[in-house]
Amino acid sequence: AQERYASIRDKPAETLDGHTIALHMNAGLMADLPSLAGSGAEGVGLFRTELQFLVRSQMPKRAELSELYARVMDAAQGKRVVFRTLDIGSDKVLPYMKPNDEPNPAMGWRAIRVGLDKPGVMRMQLQALLRAAKGRPLSVMFPFVAQMEEYTRAREEMDKALERERILGHPIPENLELGAMLETPSLAYAPDKFFEDVGFLSIGGNDLKQFFFAADRENERVRRRYDTLNVSFLSFLERIVQRCEATGTPLSFCGEDAGRPVEAACFAAIGMRILSMRPASIGPVKSILRRSDLGELRAIIHAARDRGDMSVRPAVLEYLRGKL
């Protein structure tokens, strides 16, 4: 099987009906970067910056972070890297930060909420990213944005950081892309203005699904209870795709489900064109996409929904089996 993936490594993830899906990889440590060349990924669609905070015993310094981000960009050799600002809290607790005693940390003081309430660390991180870019293009996204105003405030922090760099005479990125993760159902219903303003959106399916079904992703009893290909969830995702299409907002999906071939094929069928996953999933996902006709798959998904199936999975599996 590995050989089959090697033979398609440099081929596009082009479906039988001519749609090309961009496959990116998720990363978080320097050690992940060599996979960028080996996997055939087009770029890093999600760089989880909190991992580098989690492996340290002290808060990293700005210069240290900046050097690290510069090495990530060097290793990417001009390919796009989407840096996600710190997503701490919830399951990710920094050893050198006072733990919060929260009854529901996944829904608590985490990610952009911490970044906006105590902006010191986020400001330091934004500055480190700007310096690391040394004038090169830079992509940054904010985690766990639940309403437009949080994105707007985070963007203002970036504007301030940019202004400071300008005054200091440091180079600023030739192109700065700012985006948000869509991980709470509320953001899918943000005003059109949000979809127009945001540079891009990336669906964090791990969190989005846990909040959609109210099923804790950490709880073995419930975490696999609801299928990602449940018609309700898939209809919800399709609605997000349509809103993004209406405003021309670039959309990707970067949760773990993007790396599962059947799920990935369904996401493509409902209109997603950028998927970001662990590097080892790129081969299998590409392989299934190259054997799928998205128009046919979409018809199967809609037929299953119209019939009242609970999940589109059985119908989709039957279709895909016929393609093997």
CB 276 within 8 A of CB 45: yes
Query: Given candidates 42, 183, 238, 263, which one binds ligand PEP under the rule CB under 6 A?
Result: 183
Q: Tell me whether residue 87 or residue 263 sits nearer to ligand PEP (CB atom).
A: 87
- Rounded-to-integer distance, Cα 55 and Cα 34, Å: 19
Contact between 42 and ligand PEP by CB under 6 A: the answer reads no
Q: How far is the CB of 259 from Mg ion (least distance, A)?
A: 15
Helices (H) and strands (E) in the chain — how many of each? 15, 9
- Rounded-to-integer distance, Cα 280 and Cα 259, Å: 8
Q: What are phi and psi of 44, to 5 degrees?
A: -105, 110
- Rounded-to-integer distance, Cα 238 and Cα 213, Å: 16
- The footprint of ligand PEP on residues 207-236 (CB under 6 A) is 207
- Rounded-to-integer distance, Cα 308 and Cα 302, Å: 10
Contact between 157 and ligand PEP by CB under 6 A: the answer reads no
Q: How far is the CB of 87 from ligand PEP (least distance, A)?
A: 6
Q: Tell me whether residue 31 or residue 168 sits nearer to ligand PEP (CB atom).
A: 31
CB 85 within 8 A of CB 140: yes
Give the binding site for Mg ion (CB under 5 A): 183, 204, 207
Q: At what angle do helices 231-247 and 294-307 cross, to 10 degrees?
A: 130
Q: Which stretch binds ligand PEP (CB under 6 A): 73-81, 93-101, 156-164, 205-213?
A: 205-213
126 binds, among Mg ion, ligand PEP, none (CB under 5 to 8 A by kind): none
Q: Tell me whether residue 111 or residue 161 sits nearer to ligand PEP (CB atom).
A: 111
Q: Give the DSSP letter of residue 92.
A: B
Q: Tell me whether residue 46 or residue 297 sits nearer to Mg ion (CB atom).
A: 46
- Rounded-to-integer distance, Cα 117 and Cα 169, Å: 29
Residues in the chain, total = 324
Q: Which stretch binds ligand PEP (CB under 6 A): 62-70, 94-102, 203-211, 294-302?
A: 203-211
Q: Which stretch binds ligand PEP (CB under 6 A): 99-107, 113-121, 202-210, 223-231?
A: 202-210
Report which of 143, 182, 140 is spatially closest to residue 161, judged by C-alpha positions: 140
Query: Given candidates 152, 206, 232, 235, which one binds ligand PEP under the rule CB under 6 A?
Result: 206
Give the number of residues in contact with ligand PEP, rule: CB under 6 A: 10
Q: Which stretch binds ligand PEP (CB under 6 A): 146-154, 158-166, 201-209, 294-302?
A: 201-209
Q: How far is CA 6 from CA 10, 23, 34, in A?
A: 8, 15, 16
Contact footprint for ligand PEP (CB under 6 A): 46, 48, 87, 183, 204-207, 254-255
